[in-house]
Chains A and B, each alone.
Chain A
């Protein structure tokens, strides 16, 4: 395999962005830059699809590894994928073209700049998921802040400045400690190469502090309670495409980081901090679900539901069982699809009525029947109805949790009920009920491009709900290996005294 697939995946969006930047276009030609962006992102999607097909799911090792000298004698540019990261790359390349399609309705000014920002962001997101060197990872992880800051700040709503600053500074503050940890790892072990670090292992006496440093970054990004407050603000103010990317992909970087780095590099510390993560996850699940119930703003409600869902993810990861971790990954992919879809749905009605307040709506079912159908599917996906992808993830996570700690699992199960409560109530208030607002009557049903984007998301949600095999298949070996090489099972047994 000589062709550098991963590097092309990373570089292609940037090349597209440069192309859009340098080709001068008058206002009327904005459409053409949109088609360029769409073409590039679709090409990237098919490239990653090809990657998934060629990818050998039965091998434990990282595949398509590329290594190049970068900072001489210190850091090498190294990328590669295993079964876990390839799914996130697929998710990224799948969601980005959908965002590009939606820009027409939502972005009124500076379309060209917006497309450039999205393409650059895609580069960084793919980079995060396939980098196999801590410094390279940090570089991509942080660099993503720049385009997202601009997306929220330039194209956002009324309080966009506040939200953009909050988003940027929270995340930056969380990440600086990670940089200290990365450099410390270099001086402790002599390398920042993830594969080598897996082999070498890190001395247990350093692990706890390093784990905390990584945790501070990932916890903000996940976001976990109590550092989740930037998320509702960022979501509410960001334009639709921004919210979609934020919920679907940026949050997943942290979950991915937990699996790849926290579990992979610091197994002892991860075990040590399990109670902490359990507690924070449970608070996130229960507390933010309750908060979500009380929201009057649709985007805020979905944002809080994201926090709750990510609570399941962190819970699953730190059960450190095959089911738990697989469930978390599945939940992340599923949440990536569902939350993207929900934000798109909010975007659809927001474009028509220009409000996100739930009580301004009601009775949409008779005005927008097509909308009501897709929104139903996504609502059910979000609350984890069997037959949607949301169910598989939550089920596996809870299964892993029951194996470890029945109390934790029971409390987490409550979250599922609360999730059903706020999602169904949201659906009821928007779609059913009496048509009170006169403006609602003037709303038109889904346009063609909206139907395309939303159904593109319906399909995988239902498909993976009934047939999760392709996804599970792809992560199974990698997760098993992760548990194996770090002897997580053995450590578990020692601690539990089995």
Chain B
């Protein structure tokens, strides 16, 4: 039982969930308190994770739960993003009248599920984490229940996600059938030869995972859910589930099926190219910023998958770097979105940004930086993210993937430029409110500064990530 100290962060969050639930039910009008306590407990969980001994590499519970450098880094990333999401959206949920005690608790539940996913080394544990995460997200997506779009998005997400979970479970059972075990390491030992059933299992699981990170052709839910959900939930969708799903992707491909690289590499390359190109092309016609960022994130996931498709440690590390920078960029973008508020109403159409630079020079400057960074123009952080990916991809002589990816960045640059054009070149509109709460301002400034100043010391993150080894 002494190993339990390694999962103290998870235990802590579970206890906090129960405590907050009871606290919220018994104390009237406590939604704000619960919200702040949730943020605090995330901070505490972050401290607990950082406090764990970094040298420990161990597997708990019959080798089904991994505490290693990958899990550690991804959990820190996850909880940090969680904290920033909570900080930036606190005002939004009050104004949109979705400030209920369930909201932060559901977020905690979902984060707990993701932590389990990140550490899982076993198909069943992984599935458990996934479902905990997804169930909380279904509710969150439709949290604004009086809003037609929100309920629609919740339902749509539920139906499609349930279908993909079903496929995933079917894949798990196939793999179990052919390898007689659910443990990742054990699967690797038991599957020395390729069997059709096994390949089918891999494909089913990959489909399920691709659905979770919204890779083309399993992306259909993303634009509607992004647009329909309350913005505070959209930012959650855009950041946290991607971290968890990418980690599972890495573990799943690189531990049990590393030897079967030929079986899955083509699939990942296809997913990657399709996502990069489709995401870039489909975003061009969008009018809603949330919908646009949905397509943009589809495209970004394509780049992260390109790193994974290389089958090398370097590729995995480049993907992790990519997702880290992607998180910061999206966080900055959504912080800007939270600032487009006038008379207690939030604006989310591209046209609402028209001439923003005249009235809000600082906000537009941040947007400018974020959008150029998303487009991957040096010297901003987004360029380095892509750069690491292409370094890994070209090292494997996958020139086709690299060139398609780079051409997709040019297409994508067009729609980012279009937003910049609307902000900077178009005539101005009515002013937005310029008073914002401190958490939101801090999030925006910190993330924009990160993007801007990344080039000064790019080795920092890379050095940390290069210590992550998968096996």
Give residues in A with beta carbon < 8 Å to B.
69-72, 74, 113, 135, 138-140, 142-143, 145-146, 149-150, 153-154, 160-161, 164-165, 168-169, 172-173, 176-177, 179-180, 183-184, 186-187
Known contacts A143-B378, A176-B407; A69/B391 CB under 8 A: no
- Complex CA distance for A69 and B458, rounded to whole angstroms: 10
Instruction: Return chain B residues, CB-CB under 8 Å to A74.
Output: 391
Question: Is B273 part of the contact surface with A, judged by Cβ < 8 Å?
Answer: no
Q: Are A161 and B425 touching (Cβ within 8 A)?
A: yes
Give chain A residues whose Cβ lies under 8 Å from the Cβ of B361.
113
From B113-121, B172-180, B336-344, B410-418, the one touching the partner chain is B410-418
Contact for A176 among B406, B421, B458, CB less than 8 A: B406
Contact with A along B366-393 (1 / 0, CB 8 A): 0000001000011100011001001100
CB nearest to B391 among chain A residues:
A183
25 intermolecular pairs with C-beta atoms under 8 Å apart: A70-B459, A71-B384, A71-B458, A71-B459, A71-B462, A72-B459, A139-B379, A139-B383, A142-B377, A142-B383, A149-B420, A153-B421, A154-B425, A161-B425, A164-B421, A165-B417, A172-B377, A176-B403, A179-B390, A180-B399, A180-B403, A183-B387, A183-B390, A183-B395, A184-B399
How far is it, in angstroms, between the C-alpha of A140 and the C-alpha of B377 when the chains are bound?
Answer: 10
CB pair A168 B413 closer than 8 Å: yes
Q: Are B421 and A165 in contact (CB under 8 A)?
A: yes
Residue of chain A at shortest CB distance from B392: A183
Q: Which residues of B contact A173 (CB under 8 A)?
A: 407, 410
Task: Determine whether the beta carbon of B421 is less than 8 Å from that of A161.
Answer: yes
Tell me whether B403 and A146 are in contact (CB under 8 A): no
Q: Is B402 an interface residue (CB 8 A)?
A: yes
**B interface majority secondary structure:** helix
Tell me the complex Cα distance, A183–B383, Å: 14
State the Cβ distance, A272 to closest chain B Cβ, in Å.
Answer: 20
**Closest beta carbon of chain A to B99's beta carbon, Å:** 36
Pair B425/A169 contact, Cβ less than 8 Å: no
Q: How far is the CB of A98 from chain B (nearest CB, A)?
A: 25
Q: B413–A139 contact, CB under 8 A?
A: no
Instruction: Assess whether A177 is in contact with B406, with CB atoms less than 8 Å apart.
Output: yes
Given A69-B459, A154-B424, is A187 in contact with B377 using a C-beta cutoff of 8 Å? no
Residue numbers in A under 8 Å from B183 (CB-CB): none
Q: How far is the CA of A177 from the CA of B403 in the complex (A)?
A: 7
- Closest residue of A by beta carbon distance from B425: A153
Return the chain A residue nearest B421 by Cβ. A161
* A-B pairs with lowest CB-CB distance, top 9: A176-B406, A72-B459, A139-B378, A183-B394, A142-B378, A173-B410, A153-B425, A143-B378, A71-B458
For the complex formed, measure the closest distance between the CB of A238 and the CB atoms of chain B, giving whole angstroms.
Answer: 13
Q: Mark B173-210, 1 if CB is under 8 A from A, else 0.
A: 00000000000000000000000000000000000000
Write the nearest CB–CB distance from A381 to chain B, whole angstroms.
35
Given contacts A161-B425, A177-B403, A184-B394, contact A146 B377 (CB under 8 A): yes
CB distance from B376 to the nearest CB of A (A): 9
Residues in B whose Cβ lies below 8 Å from that of A72 = 459, 462-463
**B394/A180 in contact, CB under 8 A:** yes
**Across-interface contacts of A187 in B (CB, < 8 A):** 394-395
CB of B285 to closest CB in A, whole Å: 16
Tell whether A176 pairs with B410 under 8 Å between CB atoms, given A143-B378, A153-B425, A183-B391.
yes
Determine whether B409 belongs to the interface, using a CB cutoff of 8 Å to chain A: yes
How far is A318 from B417 in the complex, measured between Cα atoms in Å? 36
A169 and B410 form a contact (CB under 8 A): yes
In the assembled complex, B449 has its CB within 8 A of some CB on chain A: no
How many whole Å from B392's CB to the nearest CB in chain A? 9
Residues in A neighbouring B379, C-beta threshold 8 A? 139, 143
Q: Which residues of A contact B410 (CB under 8 A)?
A: 169, 172-173, 176
Return B385 CB to nearest CB of chain A, in Å. 13
Q: Please tell me if B455 contacts chain A, counting CB pairs below 8 Å.
A: yes
Q: Please, which residue of chain B has its CB at the minimum distance from the CB of A181?
A: B394
Taking A146-B377, A149-B417 as given, write out 6 further A-B residue pairs in contact, using a Cβ cutoff of 8 Å, ordered by the A residue number: A72-B459, A139-B455, A142-B377, A161-B425, A172-B410, A176-B403
Q: B459 and A145: CB pair below 8 A?
A: no
- Give chain B residues whose Cβ lies under 8 Å from the Cβ of A177: 403, 406
A177 to B409, CA, bound (A): 12
Which A residue sits closest to B361, measured CB to CB?
Answer: A113
From B378, B425, B459, name the one whose CB has the most chain A CB atoms within 10 angstroms: B378
Check A145–B403 contact: CB distance below 8 A. Answer: no
A447 to B153, CA, bound (A): 64
| Inter-subunit contact A180/B406 (CB<8 Å) | yes
* Bound Cα distance from A470 to B82, whole angstroms: 62
- Expressed in whole angstroms, the Cα–Cα distance for A329 and B455 within the complex equals 32
Query: Could you tell me the distance between the alpha carbons of A154 and B406 in the complex, rounded to whole angstroms?
Result: 27
**B406 surroundings in chain A (CB, below 8 A):** 176-177, 179-180
Closest to A153 in B: B425
State how many angstroms separate the Cβ of A320 from the closest Cβ of chain B. 29
Residues of A within 8 A of B399 (CB): 180, 184
Flag if A172 contacts B394 (CB, 8 Å): no
Inter-chain contact B372/A146, CB cutoff 8 Å: yes
Contacts of A168 in B (CB 8 A): 413, 417
| Complexed CA–CA distance, A183 and B414 (Å) | 24
Closest to B395 in A: A187
Determine the residue in chain B with the shortest Cβ distance to A116. Answer: B365
- Chain B residues closer than 8 Å to A142, beta-carbon distance: 377-378, 383
- Contact among A70, A169, A180, A183 for B413, CB-based, below 8 A: A169
A127 to chain B, nearest CB (A): 9
A145 in contact with B377 given A72-B463, A165-B414, A176-B406 (CB within 8 Å): yes
Return chain B residues, CB-CB under 8 Å to A143: 377-379
Q: B351 to nearest A CB, angstroms?
A: 15
Which residues does chain B contribute within 8 Å of A172, judged by CB atoms? 377, 409-410, 413
Q: How far is the CA of A348 from the CA of B59 in the complex (A)?
A: 75
Chain A residues contacting B458 (CB-CB under 8 Å) are: 70-71
Q: Which residue of B lies closest to A72 (CB)?
A: B459
**CB of B207, distance to nearest CB on chain A (Å):** 31
Question: By the criterion CB–CB under 8 Å, are B402 and A180 in contact?
Answer: yes
Complex Cα distance A373/B118, Å? 75
Residues of chain A contacted by B383 (CB below 8 angstroms): 139, 142
Which B residues, 295 to 340, have Cβ-Cβ distances below 8 Å to chain A? none
Instruction: Using CB atoms, name the residue of chain A closest to B459.
Output: A72
B391-A186 in contact (CB<8A): yes
Residues of B within 8 A of A140 (CB): 378
Q: For A185, give the chain B residue with the smallest CB separation.
A: B394
B residues in contact with A145, CB < 8 Å: 377
Given A160-B425, A176-B406, A180-B402: A169 touches B462 (CB 8 Å cut-off) = no
Q: Cβ of B420: which chain A residues have Cβ within 8 Å of it?
A: 149, 153
- The smallest C-beta distance from A497 to any residue of chain B, in angstroms, reads 36
